[in-house]
Amino acid sequence: MFHHPKKLVAGILASTMLAGASFAGELVINTDTSDPAPKAAFEALIAGFEAENPDVKVTWNLFDHEGYKTSIRNFLTADAPDLANWYAGNRMLPYVNAGLFEPVDDVWEENGLTESLASAQGSMTIDGKIWGVPYTYYQWGVYYRKDIFENLGIAVPTNWDEFKAAGKTLTDNGVTPITIGTKYLWTAGGVFDYLNLRTNGYDFHMALTKGEVAWTDERVVATMNNWKELIDAGFFLENHAAYSWQEALAPMVQGDAAMYVMGNFAVAPLKEAGLTDDTLGFFQFPVINPDVPLAEEAPTDTIHIPANAKNKEDAKKFLAYLARADVQTQINDTLGQLPINKDSEVGDDKFLQAGYQMLSSTTGGIAQFFDRDAPAEMAKAGMEGFQEFMVKPERMDKILERLEKVRGRVYK
């Protein structure tokens, strides 16, 4: 066969042309949506897109969470897919700065997304450009054991004093008020976010995570002192540093703990473990400083086009499809989360409805999460400090000084 190289080349050409005729393009998508619900949601999403665009063949590579965080750096530079999922806010900053994401302002303009996805535009914008399409978000707040609260005659606390009183009743009855597992640190970041948002407000919180305020500032100290009140009153699960967030679900299911400051993704495992709508409830984190407008935490998940993608045309089609109201309704119905598109419908699950009402009436602002609002190094040092503080609150000054030192180095 080596005697007829021309024939061989022609043969290869013919076969690729045949392939080209049946598929206008191949679209490669990398995601880390490997948990059951997100996986099902993406299966449906891709099937729906393929049905509407029969000329596009989608190849979907599924990664596990932890592995994805490292592999994304490799595949964005070396072997870029056409689409990849990631997170809004500061978490996408390194890739935007390194020129690895493609700006998608045109997708937003052509499809009127500045209108329908307006609420997330801010967290998707860096340097005046929009870098991806958000498809879901979820609320944070306090998930609690409704039956325990009712048995002990505790009303849902709306302010700081009621919250502390509720905790006292619970501890008096041998129930740990709040379960938490801080082994992987970020859960402590959620508690800090809420305490700081309620003590000092959204603008201060954002200034702090952007590095504009000193960690030794008296307003941060005020937040930490509020936290210390809870710690001293025995609010948090003992030995929480030994547990992951999933392990910390167990005391709540068993009735040894009554509350969990968490994101809405905790509902699914709690229900799987046997809690129902009658025994599990949700309330907004109570007011601490009544002069501060209520701000909430609601991390947004997004999809981006890598700058090195081969099939950007179809990738943009996919983003436009993903942004559509009916598609977001469907995907979030499976995910058990909230759609970004304002014309989408929110599932009739009671936690989703509660979250939707809370977030759509939020006046104070919506934070992403401590490790998405603050740059990576600050986030790590901060959350490590919070974990230490929760076990050794007497070290507060030392911890804040250490964080201030990190701040001096990180934000240059």
Partner 1 sequence: MGTYWKKNQQRLAPWLFLAPGIAMFALYVIIPIFQSMNISFYEWDGLGDRTWVGMNNYVELMDDEAFYTSLKNNVIWLVLYMLAIPAGLFVALFLNQTVRGIRIYKSLFFFPFVISQVVVGLVFSWFYDPSFGLLNIALMSLGFEAIPVLADETWVTYGIIAAGLWPQTAYCMILYLTGLNAVDPEQIEAARLDNAKGLKMLWYVVLPQLKPATFIAVVVTVIGALRSFDLVSIMTDGGPWGSSRVLAFYMYEQAFGEYGFRMGYGAAIAVILFLIMMVYISAFLFKMYRDEKGR
Q: How far is the CB of 83 from partner 1 (least distance, A)?
A: 19
Are 182 and 241 in contact by the 8 Å Cβ rule? The answer is yes
* Contact status, residue 260 vs residue 142, Cβ threshold 8 Å: yes
Site for partner 1 in 355-374 (CB under 8 A): 371
Q: Toward partner 1, which CB reaches closer, 23 or 411?
A: 411
Map the footprint of partner 1 across residues 70-89, applying CB under 8 A: 70, 73, 76-77
- Any idea of the CA torsion for 167, 168, 173, 178, to the nearest 10 degrees? 20
- Shortest Å, Cβ 98 to partner 1: 4
Q: How far is the CB of 172 from partner 1 (least distance, A)?
A: 21
Site string for partner 1, 183-212 (x = CB under 8 A): xxx---------------------------
Considering the rule CB under 8 A, would residue 164 count as an interface residue with partner 1?
no
Q: Please list every residue from 390 through 409 that binds partner 1, using CB under 8 A.
A: 391, 402, 409
Q: Which stretch binds partner 1 (CB under 8 A): 35-43, 92-100, 152-160, 295-303?
A: 92-100
Nearest alpha-carbon partner for 286 in 234, 229, 208, 342? 229
A 10 A CB-CB count for 307 gives: 17
Report residue 21 as tokens.
Answer: 């005729």
Which position among 97, 114, 158, 357 is part of the footprint of partner 1 (CB under 8 A)? 97
The site for partner 1, by CB under 8 A, has a size of 33
Amino acid in the structure at residue 280: L
Residue ranges of alpha helices (H) inside 255-375 are 267-272, 312-323, 325-335, 350-360, 370-373
Applying CB under 8 A, the span of 206-214, 240-248, 279-287, 353-361 interacting with partner 1 comes to 240-248
Length of the chain: 412
Q: Pick from 149, 162, 135: which is nearest to 282 by CA?
A: 149
103-120 in b/e form (b: 16+ CB < 10 A) is bbeebbeebebeebbebb
Binding residues for partner 1, per CB under 8 A? 66, 69-70, 73, 76-77, 94-95, 97-100, 182-185, 238-242, 371, 376-377, 379-380, 384-385, 387-388, 391, 402, 409
